Structure formats: structure tokens, C-alpha cells
Amino acid sequence: MPMLFKKLFYLLLPISSLLYAMSMEETVALGLTYNQQLQSADLQISLADEQKRESASRHFGKIEAVANYSHYNTPRTLFPLTPAAIATGASKIATTQDLFSAGIHYQASLFSGYELQDTEAVAELQRKIASLKYRLAREELIFTIRSAYIDALGAQANAKAWEHYSEAMETLYSATKRMVSLGKKAEVELLKVDAERLGSETNAELFAAQRESMVGLLTVLTGGTRPLIPLEDIPIVPSLQSLRDAASSSRIQINDLLIDQTEKNEHKSHASSLPQAGIEGYYGYSFGPNDPTNPYSGNWEHQELWNIGLNLQWNILDFGTSSAKQQQARILKIQQKHSKAHTVLQVEQDRREGTISFNTAKRRYELAKKEYALAQKTEEIETLRYQEGEISMNDFLLQKAKTQMILSEMLSSRYALLKAYYILEYLYEQGDTQ
């Protein structure tokens, strides 16, 4: 890539950013609105609400419209006969071979061994779990967007730093080339400078490519929009005190709810061992044409029918099916308790490691700032010495290039510190302000 083209590229880069500039918090807000995975997690809450509504409605049973048609080879009465009905005159009783019936059927459970109550309680727990998972999904998305944003901003800053370094190397290369042509330097010196120049140009291109990659990731995270990286800096991170005060963890809360869920399922597994009671009722009509043997052959008749009843059943022996279900539920409860213990340890370890990483990144950044301040002061001194003719242009340009490299390292450490803070913010679930 010709140097002139590169200069134009890096000149236009901030201009294009200004046209579509979007702050980090604006990018986060865009992701929270349009990210498809987060929308899917939100739908899980709605799904859990409907499952809870379904469980609650089962207490009231169900009403069904029923209809039936049967053709018989011999006539049938439209309703069951009693001796009193026969005594009134058997010839008056409607009979048919084409029997129709239609009516309303109602069925409900009066006692299910607490299965319905436990099912409703499990549905409520699932709703709470879905809400916590949605909260975690928001926290994860916020962290991922901020992390990609910082990586893009860091890549952009490093690309500029390496571009400045490349410019210094370009000037040094031209000066060395002249000195080689005059016989004041060996050819190998020119090769060294050329290699350094090409290396710096490659680094600048790599950082520019990394920036575009992070912008592409932000495009995915924000649901298909294309937020470019603005030029404004991100303020340095606040204190860790607010994060240390936030001791709760959605991951642990989810494990607690899962334990409650397994306990409810264990209790529900005993339902099949308890008596089951229900109520059932029917209201409808039977009708059809009188058959040829009837004195009123061909005439349509109908008869009102209704009934209501109670039923009771009790599983006396199922050859171990119920006990096996109960044991499975106990095992699942024990597994979930082990899972919670592991989650507690993992959350504590993650936060401990995150704090250590943050403190380490902070020390590295403070050291990098001092090194950069020293490099700037050294460059000022070397500039004066060069202007007074005490050092050569080569020494002056080398110091200038060194300053740019230290600047790149300081920028990297600064963005690493920001990223370490946002990791901690994610681990303490403090990134979501809503």
C-alpha cells in the first residue's frame, strides 16, 4: 500500500467516524433494543408466564362440546330405560338405528395428590428463573458490547500511533538512504531501517483491520446496524467500592430456584401414591329417526340427558414405578445442591480473579503513563540537542519513534484497564443501570 494512500486512509478514518459516531453507551442502548438473542431471552419470560397461566387454569378443569353418531344393526332407545318408563307404554319409546348425541361435558380434578399445586409452583419458579436469565443475558450483552467497543477504540488509537511511528521510520529511511549513498553508513543499516519501517506499517494495517473486525462484531451485537467508533475518549474507570458492595449473584439465585424446583418435583412424584378424586358432568341430547319397527317410523325424536358424578381412584400397586420416580427426583435434588455449591465457589473465584486482574491492569497503566511521560521528556531533550547539533537526525528520529511505541503500549494498557473494569462490572452484575 503506497504511503500516500495510507496517509489518506488514516486521515479519512476519523472523518468517517464522525459521520456515524456513536458513544459506547449509545451503542449499548442500541444493542439492548435490537439484539436478537436478548429478545429471545425476553420471550422466555413471556413463555414462562403462559406456562404459569396454563398450570393455574388446570384447577378449574375443562368444558368440552361433544358430539357422536353411531349406526347400529338393531334399534336402540334414545335413553336408558327404567321399569317405570316401560310401564307408560313401550310403543311410545323412541328407537333408532342412527343414533346422534350432542352436549357439553365437564371434567375437573378435586384432589390430585397435590400434583396441580406443585405444577403451578414449578411454573412460577420457572418464570423467576427466566427473569434472572434475562437479566444475565442483558449483563452479558452489555459487557460484550463494551468489550468490543474498547477493543475497537484501542485498535484505532494503536493504528494511529503506529502510523506516526511509520512516518518517523519513513523519514529515517530516506535519511539513511542518503547517508548510504554518501558512503557514511553501511548497506545493512538501511536494511535494518527498512525492515523496521515495513514492520510498523504492517502493525498499523493489522490494528486497522482489528478495528474493522470489532466494528463488524458491534454490527452483529446491535442487531444489524453499523455503529462506527467515535473519537472521544472514555473516562477512566471509577472505584471498585461500588462493585464490592454488590454481593448478590443471579447465577446463585438461579441455582437456589432450581433446588426449589427439584424439591417441588420430588413432592409431586408422590402424587401417584395418593388417592385421586374428580368430578364429571354431562348435559346434552340424544336424537334420531325412529326405525322401521317403531309405530312412529321415520319421525325424529329427541331426549334430554344429563348426569353428574364423582370418581375416586387410588394406585395400590404399580410394581415400583412410583418409588423409582421418587428416587429419581431425590437424586436430581442432590445433584442441584452440588451444582449450587460449585456455582458459589466459581462466582467467588471469578470475582477474586477479576479483582486481581483489575489491580494488575491498573498498576501496568500507571507504569505505562510514567514511561510515556519520561519518553516525552526525553524526546523534548533530544529535540533541543538535535536543534543544537549535538545529535544526529538518526538519533533524534529513533527517539521520536521510541516515544510513539511507548505511547502505543500506554494506550493498550489503558484500554486493558477499562476492559478489566467492565469484566468486574459484569461479574458483579452492575453493568445494567435499568
Residue 13 has pLDDT above 50, yes or no: no
Q: Which of 310, 312, 413 is nearest to 368 (CA)?
A: 413
Q: Which residue has the cell 354431562?
A: 282
Residue 151 included in any domain: yes
Residue 433 included in any domain: no
- Residues counted in the chain: 434
Residue 41 included in any domain: yes
Lowest mean pLDDT among 48-52, 190-194, 406-410, 412-416: 190-194
Residue 183 included in any domain: yes
- Mean pLDDT score of the chain, rounded to an integer? 85
> What's the pLDDT score for residue 108?
94
Q: Is the overall model pTM greater than 0.85, yes or no?
A: no
The CA-atom distances, in angstroms, between 5 and each of 10, 11, 12 are 9, 10, 11
Residue 432 included in any domain: no
Return the bridge partners of 65, or none.
Answer: 104
Residue 251 included in any domain: yes
User: How is 47-68 classified by DSSP, letter by letter?
Assistant: HHHHHHHHHHHGGG-EEEEEEE
Residue 434 included in any domain: no
**What Rg do the C-alpha atoms of the chain give, in angstroms?**
40
Return the bridge partners of 288, or none.
Answer: 301
Task: State the total domains in the chain.
Answer: 1
Dump pLDDT digits (tens) for 91-100. Answer: 678 899 999 9
> What's the pLDDT score for residue 139?
93
Return the bridge partners of 95, or none.
Answer: 77
Quick one: average pLDDT of 347-356? 92
Q: How far apart are the first and last CA of the chain?
A: 47
Q: Determine the structural domain holding residue 145 and report its residue range.
A: 3-427
Dump pLDDT digits (tens) for 95-151. Answer: 999 999 999 999 999 988 888 888 899 999 999 999 999 999 999 999 999 999 988
CATH number at residue 124: 1.20.1600.10
What cell numbers appear for 133 in the block? Answer: 436469565
pLDDT band at residue 12 using 50, 70 and 90 as cut-offs = very low
pLDDT band at residue 7 using 50, 70 and 90 as cut-offs = very low
pLDDT band at residue 247 using 50, 70 and 90 as cut-offs = low
pLDDT band at residue 156 using 50, 70 and 90 as cut-offs = confident
Lowest mean pLDDT among 48-52, 102-106, 123-127, 188-192: 188-192
pLDDT band at residue 3 using 50, 70 and 90 as cut-offs = very low
Helix and strand numbers (H, E) in the chain are: 10, 4
Residue 364 included in any domain: yes
